[in-house]
A and B are shown apart, each in its own frame.
Chain A
């Protein structure tokens, strides 16, 4: 019997991610382009993942799109919301997962799953960028540091600095006023991580935290936010190298289900 290849593409607000799976079990290729919906990102991500997998579009049994730009993907055979895809992706990686904290470019969400990894309930941030990847982008720009350096800088923090505003614009002003008082950037960064943890923690408490808790999405790459969330919630939070690909992974798994 020949192998079945399926693709999941997660067209987010700030990045495009693709995963190709073999027989719904093995990830054979993945790609990430740092621009999302409405850009060349999705197409570039598709070309990159096909090249890595040494496959062509015609070899794919089913393509499912998810994420903010899921409905604009003409190549996709079907679409599904990122909610169910994150649930499926996280369950594949962590079979004991019950709670998922996903922080992406412009939304933050907390999902509750049942024993079989089915989505039971979810809450999302309201029409506001507080506690999302965008929040971190804005702060990194003000602090003149690279987004990838935030974690290591926060680790060097020695003093507590509180960023009390959850509004991105107000928090930016707070950071600027801290900088004008010569507060150490490293302390400010840890304060920013705690501000995100506080905001997202409130969402998580609203839905009710049940172990195992897993963090997905691009912000999971920042261990500083993950650590702040663990401190805020008092739960161990698991993540993986595939955190940012989790939605695409879930879509590839659903695509396999659809292909049969």
Chain B
């Protein structure tokens, strides 16, 4: 009743979706700290481990990849990487892994603190470096490691054997986590959690799809900022609601002809790979100066997946940038490029992510051949600023711009 009265007398201002999204992630970390204080076991989870299990069992989980991205975006990456290197970890190892290993060893990380783990949830669909990274932390803290192994998919389809193999591991993970939580797995709660996860994924994918509009009501770089929720809080109703609010805002922007991209949209590109978090401003600057809007990204929508039953769920967990074959990877990206109407592709050769960067030369060739767009690569790193050169990046972006401009003018004809 009070709410109704309030609505009539003083209309409440809508909370911007970005605030809702930020609050959800803050809540994930705050709840983990509170649970730790209560003596509950805390998990560290890889970003594409089936979050539905821990959520159903009421276990609080933190996400080292999200933490590493946040620390590096706030310029703590080099300090943490160097700490890990002083422990003996090679600087060729993924920057996220080095930051996480350093944090687990007590290096501190005020940029995004989270409680130390009592168990590890590792799924190697996101990358295989994850396995050794998590094993190391499990050994460092002498805690259990729950592993779900996703075989690399050499074919576009996921075969039945793999579905059965993953399903069996899923069941085993439930048993292990029942022991850790001291609770029984509740199927009804599981259904609710899955429904939330699907709702979040649908809303996230819908928000991402607004990049298809010309001009786009957003920059793809916004998605890099918003994706923290789909990584850390996929199974929560609040995440779904926040993404639905975000999609509504984009819908309104399309109607109003407004955009978070406040520059001309001379060209539209796909940004391939994980962004260089410590260099977001440097990445963005030459793009805005040339009026190049990033209207397609690969990394952000990769975390949005919908399933209708257990088999589909197993298959969904097989689809991640580093666990699908080249043909699936090409199809996936080329569909995004066509739907989002890009005329160029900017490829991040990421020193931290060798599996992803390794197949990019062939992908580049395919993009040029199949899409006829300009494609340019630059060297960088998702977390370690020592592996990025701004001057080199600017020259490559200008080169891409000049290729796209000349294509716009009618040339170049062919390679």
Q: Determine whether B375 belongs to the interface, using a CB cutoff of 8 Å to chain A.
A: yes
Query: Are B368 and A118 interface neighbours, CB within 8 A?
Result: no
Query: Are A121 and B414 interface neighbours, CB within 8 A?
Result: no
**Also in contact, A120 and B398, with CB within 8 A (given A113-B412, A114-B411, A127-B387):** no
The 8 Å CB contact of B415, one of A80, A114, A126, A206, is: A114
Query: Are A120 and B415 interface neighbours, CB within 8 A?
Result: yes
Interfacial chain B residues near A81, Cβ < 8 Å: 395, 398-399, 402
Per-residue CB contact flags for chain A residues 118-137 toward chain B (1 = under 8 Å, else 0) read 11111110110000000000
Per-residue CB contact flags for chain B residues 104-137 toward chain A (1 = under 8 Å, else 0) read 0000000000000000000000000000000000
Q: Determine whether B396 belongs to the interface, using a CB cutoff of 8 Å to chain A.
A: yes
Query: Are A114 and B413 interface neighbours, CB within 8 A?
Result: yes
**Also in contact, A126 and B349, with CB within 8 A (given A83-B398, A121-B415):** yes
A113 CB to nearest B CB, Å: 7
B93 CB to nearest A CB, Å: 18
Q: Determine whether A112 belongs to the interface, using a CB cutoff of 8 Å to chain B.
A: yes
Q: Determine whether A82 belongs to the interface, using a CB cutoff of 8 Å to chain B.
A: yes
Of all chain A residues, the one with the shortest Cβ separation from B395 is: A81
Query: Are B399 and A122 interface neighbours, CB within 8 A?
Result: yes
Interfacial chain A residues near B375, Cβ < 8 Å: 121
Q: Complex Cα distance A192/B169, Å?
A: 54
Q: Determine whether B142 belongs to the interface, using a CB cutoff of 8 Å to chain A.
A: no
Of all chain B residues, the one with the shortest Cβ separation from A84 is: B402
Interfacial chain B residues near A122, Cβ < 8 Å: 376, 399
Interfacial chain B residues near A116, Cβ < 8 Å: 411-413
**Also in contact, A68 and B391, with CB within 8 A (given A81-B398, A120-B415):** yes
Of all chain A residues, the one with the shortest Cβ separation from B361 is: A206
Count A/B pairs, Cβ under 8 Å.
60
The 8 Å CB contact of A120, one of B377, B396, B414, is: B414
Per-residue CB contact flags for chain A residues 193-222 toward chain B (1 = under 8 Å, else 0) read 000000000000010100000000000000
Interface footprint category on A: 20 to 34
Q: Determine whether B406 belongs to the interface, using a CB cutoff of 8 Å to chain A.
A: yes
A89 CB to nearest B CB, Å: 14
- Residues from 393 to 415 in B contacting A, C-beta threshold 8 Å: 395-396, 398-399, 402-403, 406, 411-415
Q: Determine whether A115 belongs to the interface, using a CB cutoff of 8 Å to chain B.
A: yes
Q: Complex Cα distance A206/B368, Å?
A: 14
Interfacial chain A residues near B387, Cβ < 8 Å: 127
Q: Complex Cα distance A80/B368, Å?
A: 23
Interfacial chain B residues near A121, Cβ < 8 Å: 368, 374-375, 403, 415
Q: Complex Cα distance A121/B402, Å?
A: 10
Q: Determine whether B258 belongs to the interface, using a CB cutoff of 8 Å to chain A.
A: no
Interfacial chain A residues near B396, Cβ < 8 Å: 124
Query: Are A83 and B395 interface neighbours, CB within 8 A?
Result: yes
Per-residue CB contact flags for chain A residues 74-87 toward chain B (1 = under 8 Å, else 0) read 00000011111000
Query: Are A124 and B398 interface neighbours, CB within 8 A?
Result: no
Query: Are A114 and B398 interface neighbours, CB within 8 A?
Result: no
**Also in contact, A118 and B406, with CB within 8 A (given A81-B398, A124-B396):** yes
Q: Determine whether B155 belongs to the interface, using a CB cutoff of 8 Å to chain A.
A: no
The 8 Å CB contact of B379, one of A83, A118, A127, A206, is: A127
Interfacial chain B residues near A82, Cβ < 8 Å: 395
The 8 Å CB contact of B412, one of A118, A123, A124, is: A118
B346 CB to nearest A CB, Å: 13
Q: Determine whether B252 belongs to the interface, using a CB cutoff of 8 Å to chain A.
A: no
B287 CB to nearest A CB, Å: 14
B81 CB to nearest A CB, Å: 16
Q: Complex Cα distance A120/B414, Å?
A: 7
Q: Complex Cα distance A253/B227, Å?
A: 46
- Residues from 173 to 200 in A contacting B, C-beta threshold 8 Å: none
Query: Are B415 and A112 interface neighbours, CB within 8 A?
Result: yes
**Also in contact, A83 and B402, with CB within 8 A (given A124-B396, A126-B349, A127-B387):** yes
List 6 extra interface pairs beyond A114-B411, A121-B415, A124-B395, CB under 8 A. Answer: A68-B391, A116-B411, A122-B399, A124-B396, A127-B388, A127-B392
Sampled A-B contacts (11; CB under 8 Å): A68-B391, A81-B398, A81-B402, A114-B414, A118-B411, A120-B412, A120-B414, A121-B375, A121-B415, A124-B396, A208-B415
The 10 A-B pairs with the shortest beta carbon distances in the complex, nearest first, are A118-B412, A114-B412, A81-B398, A83-B399, A126-B379, A118-B411, A84-B402, A120-B412, A120-B415, A114-B413
